[in-house]
Structure 1
Amino acid sequence: MSSFVDFQNEIYLGGLGGLRPDLPMTAAGLAERARRELPPEAYAYVAGSASAERTAAANEAAFDNYRILPRMLRGTTAPGARDLAVEVLGTRLAAPVLTAPVGVLELLHERGEVLVAEATKELGLGMVLSTASSSTIEEVGAAAGDWWYQLYWPADDELARSFVTRAEAAGAKAIIVTADTPALGWRPRDLEQAHLPFLLGKGIANYLSDPLFRAKLATPPEESDDAMRMAILTWVGLFGNHALRPADLAKLREWTDLPIAVKGLLHPDDARRVVDAGADAVIVSNHGGRQVDGAIAALDALPAVVAGIGDRADVLFDSGIRTGSDALIALALGAKAVLYGRPWVYGLGLAGRDGVRHALRVLLADFDSALGLSGSASVTGLDRSLLSIVR
C-alpha cells in the first residue's frame, strides 16, 4: 500500500526544527517562481500555448465543472489504507501518474531528461520520453525505471522505425504516437523571443545520434558549425508528418511488439479509428493547449472518448492536471492514468532532479489525500458516482 501523503507529515515534522520547503507547494506557485527566476526563453517555451491561450486556460477551468461528492465512514483515511497502484499498457505503476513528454529539457537543466528518469524511477511512476529530447534514448533508458517512448513520426518511415527499434532496445515499455503535432502551433511567447530551440541544435539529440539520420548528412555534425547547420536543416525537412493516418499503425505493429497508444485525440471518432487500426490505448489531450487555440478542453472531450471506446482499449488523460483532485476527477471520468506536465518542468528548472521530485510528490500526496478523504480505498473502483456536475 502506498502512502504518498506521508510527505505532509515529513514537512510538518521538519517545521518543528525550523525547516520550510525550498519550493512552492502548488502548481501555481511553481509557475510563478519559474516566471521570476528562469531565463525568459526557457519560461516562454514551457508556459506558452497557442495564440491567445484560451484552450490552455480552458483545460484548467474545465475541472470547475465537476465537484467531488465525498463518502464518509469508509475506513480509507489512514495513510497506507489505500492502494494507488495501477497497471497500464502492461506497466505497473505505484500511482496512475506519468510525466508527460516534454521536449528540449536542456533549456531547464543539463541532462534534464535523465534527471526526470531518475526521479520517476525513485517514486515508481512512469516517464514518457519525447522524441524531441536533449538526451538520447539510450542515455535515458540507462537511467529510467518504467518508461514509454513518445514518437513524433518523422517524414521518413525508416527513420521512424529506427527510433522505435532503439527505444525498444533501450527498455521502453510502450510506444506513444503523437497525432496532433504534424507541425508546431502558433505560439506567440516563443515568437516574441524569436526563439525556436531546434534551430540552435537543441532538442534533436535523438536525430543526431541516429545512424539513419547521420547517413543523410554529407559531414558529421560534430566536425564544424556548417556541418551542424546542415544537420539542423535536414532535421527541419524531416520533422512532422502531414500524411500520417490510422492505417500507418499497421507499420508500427510490424516494427515492435510493444503496446501502442495514440496521443492528442479529442474526437471520439478519431479514437475509434485508431483503436480499429490496432492501438492499445488512446491519450485524450490537446497538447496542453499548445496546438489549436479555441479547441475543446481535454477534460470536456474525455467522457465521449471513454464512452466511444468502451473496454476495447485503455484511455489516458493529459492537459490541465494541476492538483490531486484534478487527477481524481479525470480518473472518475474514465481515464486509467494521467500524464502530468508543466509543474514538474518548472521544478526541473528551479532545482534539477530535486525540483522534479518535489513537484511530483506534491501531486501524489494531494492525490493520495483526496482519494482517501473522498472515501475510496483504491484507484481501480473510481467512477462517475464520485462526481457531481455543476455546469
Structure 2
Amino acid sequence: MPHEGAGQPLDAARWVDELARRARTALPPEVVEYVLQGARDGVTAAEAVDSWRRVRLVPRVLRGVDRVDLTTPLLGARVRAPLGVAPTTLQRAVHPEGEAAVAQAAAAAGVPVVVSSNAGTPFADVGATGARWWVQVYVPQDRALAEPLLDRAVAAGAEAVVLTVDTPVVGTKYAAGERRVWDVVDPAWLRVNLDPGQEGAPGSEKARDLGPADVAWLGERTGLPVVVKGVLHPDDARVALAAGAAGVWVSNHGGRQLDRAVATVDALPTVAAAARAAAPGALVLVDGGVRGGLDALAALALGADLVMLGRAPLLALLDGADGVARLLSLVADELADALLLAGCATPAEAAALLAAGPGSTS
C-alpha cells in the first residue's frame, strides 16, 4: 500500500515533479534541457503526463478481492510487477553510476530494465547487477556494424532486443542557450559498447530503410525475442508481429521525435487489439508520461502488459540506485492500492475496468 511520509502518503507523480525542480539546480542546464525537452515545439512531450488523466475507469465490487498479486508473466518467466524501465541516454550525466545504478534498482524491484545502445556503462557491468535486462538497438545503415554491440549484449545476459523504429533521423530540438548538451558532457558517458571508431564510420548513420527483414535478422542474429519500439498504428503492429516480433511497444519516443504525434494513451487501445488479434500472446508495452500507479492502471486497462517509465527513473537517478528503487516501489505500491480499490486481484483483471467501452478515454 502507499508509503507514508510526514503523516501523508508520498505521491510518485508529485515526487517526480520535485525531482525535476531539484535537477534544475543539481545538474548543468544543458543536461536538464536534454532530459526534459521534446522535439520542435514540445507539443507531444508536454501533453503526455496529463493525457493519462483523461482515462476514466469503472471499478468493480463484490468480487471478494482481499489482496493483490502484481506478479506478471514476461517472456516465459514472471516479474514482480507489470512495470519496467525504458531506455534513456546520458544516465551517467545524472549520476556517476548511471545504467548500473538503474539496473541495480530494477533488480531490487524485480522488474526489467532496457539499456540504451547509447549507454555509458559496459553491458557486462549491467549484467553483473543481476537485473533482468534487454538491449535497445538503433540499426545502422551497415547492419554489420551492429553485430559487435549485439554480441556484447548477448554475452552479458540480455534477455531481449528492443528495436527502435521511429528514429530514421534524430528529431530536431531547440537549444535555449548557445551550448548543447553534447558540448558539456564527457564522451565517456556515451556509447561505450560500440567498437572504437564506429561513430562516423561509413554506414554508421541510422538506417532509413528499416523493414520487416530487420526484425527477423535481429532475432536470428541474437537468438533473443525482439520487441519493436515506436509503434503507434495498428497496421504497423501487425507487420512487426508477422515479421517475428515477440511484442510491440507503443511509444512516441517521449515526444522527442515527430512533434504532434499522437499521445500513447490514444494509440494504445487500437494497437493492443490489433496485436492480440494478429498474434495471441503477443507482448504489448507502453510508455509516455507515466508517473504513478493510477497511470499504470489506466495503461493496463487499455491493453498494456508492461508499463514502462523513462524520464521518471532518469530524474530519480539523482539519488542513485536508492532513488530509482524508491520510485519503482512507490509506483508498484500505488498500482496495488489502485487495483484493490478497483476490485482487481491481478493486473490482468484491469481490462474489466473499461466496461463502458474498450478504448474509452472520456
Same fold (TM over 0.5): yes
Structure 2 match to 1:108:
94
Superposed CA deviations along residues 187-222 of structure 1, whole A, max 9, x for unmatched, are 124775322369852311111xxxxx33xx4xxxxx
- Matching of residues 10-159 of structure 1 within 5 Å: 11=4, 15=6, 26-76=15-65, 81-159=67-145
Paired residue secondary structure (2:193): helix
State yes or no: 1:315 paired with 2:284: yes
Larger mean CA deviation between 150-159 and 280-289 belongs to: 150-159
Superposed CA deviations along residues 42-84 of structure 1, whole A, max 9, x for unmatched, are 21111011111111123223223311222234443x5xx1110
Distance 1:91 1:147 in 2: 13
Distance 2:287 2:331 in 1: 14
- Matching of residues 173-192 of structure 1 within 5 Å: 173-189=159-175
1:298 to 258, 264, 280: 264
Superposed CA deviations along residues 330-381 of structure 1, whole A, max 9, x for unmatched, are 11111111111111111112x1111111222221111111111111111122
Contact 2:296–2:335 at 8 Å: present in 1 too? Answer: yes
2:347 is matched by which residue type in structure 1?
V
- Matching of residues 266-281 of structure 1 within 5 Å: 266-281=232-247
Structure 2 match to 1:331:
300
1:356 is matched by which residue type in structure 2?
V
2:313 is matched by which residue type in structure 1?
W
Larger mean CA deviation between 165-174 and 278-287 belongs to: 165-174
Contact 1:348–1:355 at 8 Å: present in 2 too? Answer: yes
2:192 is matched by which residue type in structure 1?
A
Distance 1:154 1:190 in 2: 30
Pairwise CA RMSD of aligned residues? 2.5
Paired residue secondary structure (2:350): coil
Contact 2:114–2:134 at 8 Å: present in 1 too? Answer: yes
Aligned-residue identity in percent: 39
1:30 is matched by which residue type in structure 2?
L
Contact 1:190–1:196 at 8 Å: present in 2 too? Answer: no
TM-score, normalised on structure 1?
0.84
TM-score, normalised on structure 2?
0.90
Distance 1:197 1:125, change over 3 A: farther
1:383 to 315, 331, 351: 351
Contact 1:154–1:240 at 8 Å: present in 2 too? Answer: yes
2:300 is matched by which residue type in structure 1?
L
Structure 1 match to 2:193:
206
Distance 1:285 1:240 in 2: 18
Structure 2 match to 1:222:
none
Distance 1:310 1:274 in 2: 12
Distance 1:111 1:167, change over 3 A: same
Contact 2:44–2:260 at 8 Å: present in 1 too? Answer: yes
Distance 1:237 1:35, change over 3 A: farther
Distance 1:167 1:192 in 2: 37
Contact 2:60–2:353 at 8 Å: present in 1 too? Answer: no
Distance 1:297 1:197, change over 3 A: farther
Contact 1:86–1:92 at 8 Å: present in 2 too? Answer: yes
Paired residue secondary structure (1:274): helix
State yes or no: 1:255 paired with 2:211: no
In structure 1, the gaps of 5 or more residues are 208-212, 218-230
Distance 2:193 2:169 in 1: 18
Distance 1:114 1:199, change over 3 A: closer
Distance 2:293 2:15 in 1: 10
2:136 is matched by which residue type in structure 1?
Q
Deviation at 1:165, TM superposition (A): 2.1
Structure 2 match to 1:367:
335
Distance 2:62 2:72 in 1: 25
Contact 1:24–1:30 at 8 Å: present in 2 too? Answer: no
Distance 2:263 2:179 in 1: 27
Structure 2 match to 1:283:
249
Distance 1:267 1:190, change over 3 A: farther
Deviation at 1:24, TM superposition (A): 8.4
Distance 1:190 1:259, change over 3 A: farther
Distance 1:194 1:272, change over 3 A: same
Task: Give the number of equivalent residue pairs.
Answer: 354
Deviation at 1:184, TM superposition (A): 1.4
Deviation at 1:33, TM superposition (A): 2.6
In structure 2, the gaps of 5 or more residues are none
